[in-house]
Structure 1
Amino acid sequence: MLQERENTLKYMIEAEWPGQIGICEPRRVAAISLANRVADETGTLVQGDMVGYAVRFDACKNKPKIKYMTEGILLRELMSDPLLKSYSAIMLDEVHERTVYTDILMGLVKKILKKRSDLRLIVASATLDAEMLQKFFNNNSTGDRKKDTAIIMSVEGRQYPVDVYYVAEPVPCYVQASVETVLKINSSKDSGDILVFLTGQEEVDRAVRLLNEHASLIEESKKKEKMCVLPMYGALPYHEQLKVFKSAPSGHRKVVVATNIAETSVTIPGIVHVVDCGFVKLKWFNDDTHTNSLIVVPISKSSADQRAGRAGRERPGKVYRLYTEEDASKLPDETPPEIVRSDLTYPILQIKAFGIANILKFDFPSPPPMKNLKSALEILYALECIDIQGELTKPLGFNMAEFAMNPLYTKVLLSSGNFGCSEEILTIISMLQVETIFAKPSSGSNSIKARIQKRLFEVEEGDLITYLNIFNGFVQSETSQGFCQKNFLNYKSLQRVVQIREGLKRMLQNYDVPIASCLRSTEPILKCLVKGLFPNAAYLHHSGVYKTIRGDIELFVHPDSILYTIPQPQWVIFCEVVHTSKLYMKDITVINSEWLTELAPHFYHRTTHYD
């Protein structure tokens, strides 16, 4: 598909359209890596006049002819340029991933095309139902195919044959099975690099750690089967992500352990063997708790095909599926679009910012459930982003729409100046943007040491203040990698936190939020957190479990929380819910119940109940 994209771009450039050519990618790593690739192909410098990119906190200053960007960037550009007048062509790439932003962009661009007949839209997808998309974009009401405004163009990709292998019996732990499969491939005579698919950063880091231990043993024994093991996930700093595109050192085999970011968004050269765990981590919205739950679910057949296709890019390859052939036949055909299974609070906030008053009449390619829309509008009203008529409030609603993050976090950030704790809140919100900051050792003795080191930072106020202590220690060590090794922390994640924090600080300064510190006082920080996270409040029921105040949903403290092993407080707020055997709260903070009625009187009020 990469060569086909490049050919498409050449045709678009040769057409000499007057404006920019915008290419949207679902992920920042794809936008940056493809911009670099096309710059090399055109013999120009990336971020020059020909090719550039724009991702969150990193954008080109000029107006290149070809501009790669994430979907969120184009959405924000729509706020200032509703008809995209600076563009003559837009390409929406990897549409089969069906992110929330993909669906919103398709709905918005469809409206723009009715106003701008000169704008060209190219929707690129490897597996999506093309006829469904053609029907969605086709404005021809006569039925005459000659008057179709949308057509299907199929380009046959180059694919070498791929042999598929299944396990005879289900594996008890797919992370361990992935490691064992890599070692078997590496000890065989089959050449070529290996790509392993796992579900999240924590699993990737665990597998990389185990494989690196084996790689060290191989180096010491001076065997020939040497490995260069690399992680690949969205939260990884970009300079670390770039390593997977480079060739392994001489005499080594490259092993890339990745999330589904490597499924379609990036093409890693040299891959011949693919190890597919058969699972993916998806967000799933719970309208009872008003939160997204992270759920590990089986992949779809189309995702399985995409993963297998990674092995046949450069020569015949092999894919090792860690599930049975019978289970493979039971997989769903497609992964449900994100917009039908996600929290719509931020997407609706952005749609409102585009001046679309009636959300119910917005043309979504896959209409989301009505209960999800209702829940999102309720939360936005409670956050004071919209008024009772559903219009954006000024300036708060418009300001919040500019931030590409959960509106609950944005409300906390924009309120931090009033509480005099913006320095601390910047750190906490930035820490919440990465999946984990903790390195989890595989050996039992190191696990105990990691737990002891974590206790040095823990405080009774909960996880978020603990994160603040950890980051402050990291900064005081001058962002030392040795500090992270000593305290069993993820150095790459903390580097990413530093980058995110710098970007958010600039945004706060743009909105004239005073940057101040409350020094060692925690109450202003806790109150500020309640100001935005008040919908995520729970109390300890007399039965011994936590329950949400609204909805009466049973919740449990996640084992990773510092509150798991201490006497549990009466009132807490949480950032997310993880759904495994139970609904577990993560990133928990202890609060005073009176703050809920003080800081969110429009959402909570106190009553007396008599049995």
Structure 2
Amino acid sequence: MVYGTMSQDSYLPPAKKFKPGTPQSSYIRKGAMQLGPRKHPVPIEQQRRNLPIYQARAQIIGQLRQLDSAIVIGETGSGKTTQIPQYLYEASIGRQGVIAITQPRRVAAISLASRVSEERKAELGKLVGYTVRFEDVTSEETKVKFLTDGMLLREAIGDPLLRRYSVIILDEAHERTVHTDVLFGVVKMAQKKRKELGKLPLKVIIMSATMDVDLFSEYFNGAPVLYLEGRQHPIQIFYTKQSQSDYLQAALVTVFQIHQEAPSSHDILVFLTGQEEIEAMTKTCRDIAKHLPDGCSQMTVMPLYASLPHSQQFRVFQNAPKDHRKVILSTNIAETSITITGIKYVVDTGMVKAKKYNPDSGLEVLAVQKISKAQAWQRTGRAGREDSGICYRLYTEDEFEKFEKMTIPEIQRCNLASVMLQLLVLRVPNVFTFDFMSKPSPDSIRAAVDQLDLLGAIERREDQVILTPLGRKMASFPLEPRFSKTILLSPKFHCTEEILTIVALLSVDSVLHNPPAKRDEVQAARKKFISSEGDHITLLNVYRAFKSLGKNKEWCRENFINGRNMMLVSEVRSQLRDICIKMSMPIESSRTDTRNIRQCLAHGLFMNAAELQPDGTYTTVETHQPVAIHPSSVLFHCKPACVIYNELLHTSKCYMRDLCVVDADWLFEAAPEYFRRKLKSSKN
């Protein structure tokens, strides 16, 4: 694998071309960076003053004091996310209410709140706090609040004017998550209404490192754009000279090339696409590292992905032991907002796993695809947070030029059922004409409304879409509509306790920890929980054992269960249970009878059904899409006649994940009209 170079004004002059195995001095421009031991920690106050944004502090405060809306563009590492909320607070801007800063990811919201409270020398949850789904660390004293965009959206359901906030900062706006895009419209509406009603004005600040500035400025009524000069440290970028057929192999070669040449204090961050890929490469890296020649520094390989136990996620923020290099293998969770100390090198595979939804087929699949230029620059920026750095892009410069400029907004590539339900609860007069910054296709909006209709959440009256009492109840749960409906159906099947557990288990990241190096041990430990009725009942068995043993951490370790995620399941479950109690729902248990549970799941998830074909393959009932059982499912070696699934994952083929064996008659009972239509279309 051979790298070429690129030149970019804001980066150091390009390095010479190099080949794997050549000495470092022949491909890195001498003097381009300081090599040596890790630096002594700098006092926090000094760190704040060292940030590029500090020079512009007075101008930022002056500008933001006068503006209702502003767009702030600052490179990764400029300090905008942690400092602007503090500057506003220190200058008494927005002190009449709370300053909210939204983040697309919970890890970022938590770590940023922790960092800012540390800088303020305040206890987390007092002046500075955070709110993420199922976790609220705030108090009456909280004036600076980090929260996920989904949480602010839920608050807007209770208060569309967002009265408790004086400033709302929508951070990482370029990510364009579905919640962020809905929030743009909701916040814009709240700002306008508050002005019309003569209420306390709402200041809106949109922040990002890279984005389509004109689109954002135009959407927020010509809001001015403030550019923050400079990044903290320069970064060199290398491209491959030839296209790489195997990005995983290319990443492996690059990691060990750096490892053999660079000082051990320089850590490496590698961007991969998902848990399976990361776990497999973690094992490979550890195996190779054991057989390196004497004199080569040690390697500490750390995976980082959303479903990893919390304690292991936060290990990446700690320094590696002396003479050890930290190599972090991460999904795009590390792309924005979080700063991992010691990162000197970034290896960017140029790939990401993202959701794509086809409203015609009703298929929502997770697929591996190329990143956008905006994402590539975000990844590159991770190398220059504390010192000068280097980014190896495992694609050619020509390939980079063909990347999309911006990531396609999630709202244009996902199932909109949850979004439409939220808009109806927010009393949006017409969901078809809602002021989206990037409007989803009419087909996607229609498909979402059709789904809500099938679930009984809405009624159609002429051109109007009206929320039904059932739909209003469904919106009370912070869940996808199909899961809300399943919970609301559970009293009919006398299994609310079990359905709450299953929905809670499906609402958090995986509770099963599957290290590839211990595959046989994992299988032996799991045997006692496995149910021939599928993954939902297997997960229920795991939770019941966890609860009966007093939520024992040691038991979790022995059985390869993610203890923290299990605790989170308990919290989620109790919050969902509280919502049921507020609705005066009877809460019964079906105890050992699992038929009721599966029947209830079939009634709620009937749109996610697949049937066994005569040739031994499966097709989905809705679109006759060929699908297969995912190898991680307990049903992988079985061939049940009819199943429901939680999601589809598209890799080499289309896989169903989280399956439950159901009876075809139950599906027909759940939605007779729907299945009559499907039956007709399959015969035609």
TM-score (normalised: structure 1): 0.89
Cα distance, 1:19 vs. partner? 1.4
Which residue of structure 2 aligns with residue 142 of structure 1? none
Alignment of 1:411 onto 2:485: yes
Cα distance, 1:439 vs. partner? 4.3
Which residue of structure 1 aligns with residue 538 of structure 2? 466
Opposite residue 9 of structure 1, the aligned amino acid is P
CA distance in structure 2 between the aligned counterparts of 1:273 and 1:469, rounded to whole angstroms:
44
Kept in 1: contact 2:131–2:147 (CA 8 A): yes
Alignment of 1:393 onto 2:456: no
Alignment of 1:55 onto 2:132: yes
Which residue of structure 2 aligns with residue 202 of structure 1? 276
Kept in 1: contact 2:362–2:622 (CA 8 A): no
Identify the match of residue 131 of structure 1 among 192, 214, 230.
214
Matches within 5 A, 1:406-445: 406-442=480-516
Q: Which range is displaced more, 302-311 or 537-546?
A: 537-546
Which residue of structure 1 aligns with residue 23 of structure 2? none
Which residue of structure 2 aligns with residue 19 of structure 1? 97
Cα distance, 1:408 vs. partner? 0.9
Identify the match of residue 89 of structure 1 among 145, 167, 176.
167
Q: Which range is displaced more, 5-14 or 371-380?
A: 5-14
CA distance in structure 2 between the aligned counterparts of 1:470 and 1:105, rounded to whole angstroms:
37
Identify the match of residue 75 of structure 1 among 153, 156, 180.
153
Q: Which range is displaced more, 336-345 or 6-15?
A: 6-15
Cα distance, 1:605 vs. partner? 3.9
Which residue of structure 1 aligns with residue 445 of structure 2? 373
Which residue of structure 1 aligns with residue 37 of structure 2? none
CA distance in structure 2 between the aligned counterparts of 1:522 and 1:90, rounded to whole angstroms:
47
Alignment of 1:182 onto 2:255: yes
Which residue of structure 1 aligns with residue 203 of structure 2? 120
Opposite residue 176 of structure 2, the aligned amino acid is R
RMSD: 2.8
Query: Aligned to 2:471, what secondary structure does the other structure show?
Result: helix
Cα distance, 1:415 vs. partner? 2.3
Cα distance, 1:474 vs. partner? 3.9
Q: 1:581 to 1:80 in 2, by over 3 A?
A: same
Kept in 2: contact 1:263–1:307 (CA 8 A): yes
Matches within 5 A, 1:227-242: 227-242=299-314
Query: Aligned to 1:562, what secondary structure does the other structure show?
Result: coil
Kept in 2: contact 1:176–1:207 (CA 8 A): no
Opposite residue 206 of structure 2, the aligned amino acid is V
Opposite residue 153 of structure 1, the aligned amino acid is L
Q: 1:334 to 1:160 in 2, by over 3 A?
A: same
Instruction: Spell out, residue by residue over 1:268-295, the C-alpha distance to the aligned partner (whole angstroms, 9 max, x if none).
Output: 2221111212210101113244342000
Which residue of structure 1 aligns with residue 410 of structure 2? 338
CA distance in structure 1 between the aligned counterparts of 2:312 and 2:494, rounded to whole angstroms:
35
Cα distance, 1:317 vs. partner? 0.7
Unaligned runs of at least 5 residues, structure 2 = 1-76, 196-200
Kept in 1: contact 2:307–2:510 (CA 8 A): no
Kept in 1: contact 2:212–2:406 (CA 8 A): no
Cα distance, 1:212 vs. partner? 4.5
Instruction: Spell out, residue by residue over 1:216-252, the C-alpha distance to the aligned partner (whole angstroms, 9 max, x if none).
Output: 778xx98662333333223345444333223233333
Q: 1:541 to 1:77 in 2, by over 3 A?
A: same
Kept in 2: contact 1:382–1:602 (CA 8 A): no
Kept in 2: contact 1:278–1:322 (CA 8 A): yes
CA distance in structure 2 between the aligned counterparts of 1:181 and 1:304, rounded to whole angstroms:
17
TM-score (normalised: structure 2): 0.80
Cα distance, 1:340 vs. partner? 0.2
CA distance in structure 2 between the aligned counterparts of 1:441 and 1:78, rounded to whole angstroms:
41
Which residue of structure 1 aligns with residue 4 of structure 2? none
Kept in 1: contact 2:78–2:228 (CA 8 A): no
Kept in 2: contact 1:204–1:231 (CA 8 A): yes
Instruction: Spell out, residue by residue over 1:161-213, the C-alpha distance to the aligned partner (whole angstroms, 9 max, x if none).
Output: 22223345555554454344333323323342221211123333333344445
Opposite residue 257 of structure 2, the aligned amino acid is K
Instruction: Spell out, residue by residue over 1:560-600, the C-alpha distance to the aligned partner (whole angstroms, 9 max, x if none).
Output: 3333322x222221111122343222222111121123233
Opposite residue 158 of structure 1, the aligned amino acid is R
Matches within 5 A, 1:6-405: 6-13=82-89, 14-17=91-94, 18-48=96-126, 50-59=127-136, 60-117=138-195, 118-138=201-221, 150-171=223-244, 173-175=246-248, 177-190=250-263, 191-213=265-287, 225-389=297-461, 390-394=465-469, 396-405=470-479
Opposite residue 116 of structure 2, the aligned amino acid is V
Cα distance, 1:521 vs. partner? 0.9
CA distance in structure 1 between the aligned counterparts of 2:350 and 2:512, rounded to whole angstroms:
25
Matches within 5 A, 1:538-553: 538-553=610-625
Instruction: Spell out, residue by residue over 1:305-329, the C-alpha distance to the aligned partner (whole angstroms, 9 max, x if none).
Output: 1101110122111112233444333
Cα distance, 1:373 vs. partner? 0.8
CA distance in structure 2 between the aligned counterparts of 1:53 and 1:449, rounded to whole angstroms:
38
Q: 1:517 to 1:179 in 2, by over 3 A?
A: farther
Q: 1:291 to 1:455 in 2, by over 3 A?
A: farther
Cα distance, 1:2 vs. partner? 5.3
Q: Which range is displaced more, 578-587 or 543-552?
A: 543-552
Query: Aligned to 1:366, what secondary structure does the other structure show?
Result: coil
Cα distance, 1:348 vs. partner? 0.9
CA distance in structure 2 between the aligned counterparts of 1:173 and 1:475, rounded to whole angstroms:
44
Q: Which range is displaced more, 276-285 or 36-45?
A: 36-45
Unaligned runs of at least 5 residues, structure 1 = 139-147
Kept in 1: contact 2:483–2:604 (CA 8 A): yes
Q: 1:256 to 1:280 in 2, by over 3 A?
A: same
Kept in 2: contact 1:26–1:265 (CA 8 A): no
Cα distance, 1:256 vs. partner? 2.2
Which residue of structure 2 aligns with residue 144 of structure 1? none
